Amino acid sequence: GLYVSRKDLSMSELFPKNFIIQRDAFDWHVIGIENGIATLLMRTDIFAGSYYSDKLGDSYRDSFVRKRLNGWILETLIRDGYRPIPTEISDSGSEDSLWELSAEEFEKLPKRLKVFPRRWWLRDKGSKPGTSLCVNRDGSLEECEDIPETDTPTLRPAMRMKLEDLIVREEKKPEPD
């Protein structure tokens, strides 16, 4: 399971304060709690490369980003003890364990979570062909072209997990012989 950095956290402390869940290389912000399920946003990021692929379609559902998140990245997280809940992504018609936020979900985030050292993808298409929305370093939105470049946006996926899967109870040390 995952662990938290402070002992004895109550439900009211989990959200909306700056609470971070930590495990291995990934840290997660709690961005919502409903019915015992936490929605988490990755605090760090993962290199994405191209958003779309010539072999795939031009929607989030068919994107390289979605396939990468729910392929080897998900497999890595599961191997590390994560148990994400598959979630229906209504605007894409898919059910995913990991996903990029929509612009609507992004707008609900506090400013401190929008500002980030690198640009990162959202799942919304841009108005021009070959573009998708991304978040700039200052937290503003922009239509980003899907071309390899030095400043290609990265991934900051979200996922949902049961609260009981987030907090590990301390194991008692065995008594010495």
Give which of 177, 37, 158 is closest to 106, Cα–Cα: 158
Give which of 136, 124, 126, 112 is closest to 41, Cα–Cα: 112
Residue 15: both structure tokens together: 């959200």
* Under 8 Å between Cβ of 17 and 143: no
167 against 10, higher pLDDT: 167
- Which percentage of the chain shows pLDDT scores above 70? 71
Give the N- to C-terminal CA distance of the chain in Å, as an integer.
Answer: 29
Digit-coded pLDDT (tens) for 65-119:
888 899 888 888 888 788 899 999 877 778 999 999 999 999 999 898 999 998 9
Work out the angle at residue 68's Cα, subtended by the Cα atoms of residues 34 and 41, and round it to the nearest 5 degrees.
30
**Whether the predicted pLDDT of 18 surpasses 60:** no
What pTM does this model have? 0.79
Give which of 96, 149, 118, 110 is closest to 46, Cα–Cα: 118
Digit-coded pLDDT (tens) for 127-147:
887 788 999 999 999 998 876
